Structure 1
């Protein structure tokens, strides 16, 4: 192992901080950048409690605060604490104006609205895919970015159908090895769908065990982002420190569908 001269430590630490600051600046610039076209981003997990809704809400807030056009939030997870509930959005009744939308004004008819976002929270009694196709499909083209919370989906039931609706699928998993390996095994199947969605893995460190598993997957063909556990995220508070950096990295990564340069 190469030794470090103590006299070099201040410069080394400053260099590390400067590099991290540079990455944060790059992520921020990427998020604020030029239009992406109609970019459909989906957040999904393989098990309840992994953090898909929490991460979707945090990424939505990051994008809404940094982009010039409003972001469309779509909640088809069907729970009481999912994305729409986190935003305080009311249930969205069907609308002929949205179903036959020809203008942006038609597209936002009846939607809940917040700072930098609109939220579609349709009835999901027929399932998330049917709800998305009936209510979201006619209006997503009017938004540069849409974020869908699909909740927890089974890979043998409806995960593929949900993923096929997206340009990028953020598969959120507990960072412990067993659930992370399951998510890792699902990623190639998502990438192989005829619609060609790009998978992104976000591994949330619920056990506070560090990012060893995420680092071990860093050479995978798709992006893998380790997300430190932050109890405040679930309550909607702004993340701090490493969790803030991770949310920015996830936001920049899902917008591009490509690996971001780590801080």
Structure 2
């Protein structure tokens, strides 16, 4: 047997061990204590079918690993995340608006398997709705996830991004879409609030993984490729959740 063939089992098992180490590190990053609320916002530059599913999957990955409930806010016009969570439109509440305790912050809200859903009524103005309904209670949660949906950079994308500590910018892993998304990242990072950014690139064709690798190789922020294959996608969601909970830091071994 040639030296190359003899080394194959070692390479395979070594890769498996390395992968398990990465998974354990990412799991630990999601479970790690947080000194302040981690506000995570999901955004895209154009309507994108993966924004809401990713927000939901990341939320579930976090709730599966943390003892505290996660606040999940649907600030989109269509309300797909709220429907997925079976959350009705949330009426304004004076007790919640002036909350001084966790019990007051939960007034009128349901905790379903570690997810507290909030669907503000005025979603035509996502920033105003978030400030009125979510801002008064986020401090009572370790993690708050908001689905802002699609917003143009020349409109209110910056205003939505400013409400987050970490922005997950979702785009197709096609060269044009990925490069357009990456081009917006410096502007988001330059906001006075200085949110971190994680770029999530979703598979669209056989060239997608190569596009994502090329973008990642020349980016200073985390880039997570989300493949179509279910098992690989679950691992990618874990990587994405870890990077977001870690404050926009890539979490590896």
Bin for the TM-score computed over the shorter chain = over 0.9
Q: 1:4 to 1:225 in 2, by over 3 A?
A: farther
Structure 2: gaps (5+ residues): none
Distance 2:210 2:147 in 1: 27
> Which secondary structure state, in structure 2, belongs to the residue aligned with residue 40 of structure 1?
strand
Q: 1:229 to 1:124 in 2, by over 3 A?
A: farther
Which of these residues, 241, 250, 255, is aligned with residue 240 of structure 2?
A: 250
> Which secondary structure state, in structure 2, belongs to the residue aligned with residue 217 of structure 1?
helix
Verify the 8 A CA contact 1:50 1:173 in the aligned structure 2: no
> 1:68: Cα distance to partner?
1.0
Supply the RMSD in Å over aligned alpha carbons: 1.5
Q: How many residues align?
A: 250
- Residue 250 of structure 2: aligned partner: 259
Runs of 4+ with >4 A deviation? none
Per-residue displacement from partner, 1:52-96 (whole Å, max 9, x unpaired)? 11100000000011101100001001214x211111111111100
Structure 1: gaps (5+ residues): 231-239
> Which secondary structure state, in structure 2, belongs to the residue aligned with residue 155 of structure 1?
coil
Q: 1:115 to 1:125 in 2, by over 3 A?
A: closer
> Which secondary structure state, in structure 2, belongs to the residue aligned with residue 66 of structure 1?
coil
Per-residue displacement from partner, 1:139-194 (whole Å, max 9, x unpaired)? 00110100000011111101000000000000000111111111000001000000
Any residues of structure 2 matched to 1:1-263 within 5 Å, and which? 5-80=4-79, 82-218=80-216, 219-230=218-229, 240-256=230-246, 257-261=248-252
Distance 1:193 1:223 in 2: 18
TM-score, scaled relative to structure 2: 0.95
Distance 2:35 2:204 in 1: 32
> 1:244: Cα distance to partner?
1.0
Distance 1:51 1:90 in 2: 22
